Amino acid sequence: MLKTTTTFLFLILTYVSTAHACKYQTQYEALGWNVVPTSQFDSVAKFVKDTIKSGLDQGTVVFDISGPILTNQTNDSSELLLDAMMFDNLKTDRDIMYGDYAIIETADNNRHLVEVRWFDGQKRNVAINPTYLKCMSEGAPWVENSVL
């Protein structure tokens, strides 16, 4: 009986300790992505938004595609509808990276920024807003030359 109780308690503790873990982090890292610590979200989000805006103003960045993402990677595991927008840096060869920047926002009137992705010339990067997400909104892209 003691062994059964101990095993049960171990399983419960293991589940509780991993219930809020990011299920996609290992996948992103295995594909060569840099997963930025959540504590840096505000600064990297500002960098990505400023880079996109500057590039759009200068004509070196263009809007590419957008589409919905339904995720349950929220802090309370409820479903959240998001709007993902990808932008292409015209200075980057398309064979190297097609779609250099992505911003992912809530698909409501508030448009809260929940995730950013970008290619820095060497590596793809992702950062999530811990206020809304516990993990990336979806699995990593299967293609090697896109951030979305």
Q: CA-CA-CA-CA torsion for 145, 65, 51, 55, nearest 10 degrees?
A: 100
Where are the chain's structural domains?
Answer: 22-128
Helix or strand holding residue 146 (H, E): none
d(CA 28, CA 56): 28
Q: Read off the pLDDT of residues 45-86 as tens digits, 9 standing for 90 and up.
A: 999 999 999 999 999 999 999 999 999 999 999 999 999 999
pLDDT band at 16 (very low <50, low <70, confident <90, very high): very low
pTM here is: 0.85
120 in Cβ contact with 58 (< 8 Å): no
The DSSP secondary-structure symbol of 102 reads E
Q: Read off the pLDDT of residues 92-121 as tens digits, 9 standing for 90 and up.
A: 998 899 899 999 999 999 999 999 999 999
Amino acid letter for position 55: G
4, pLDDT greater than 70:
no
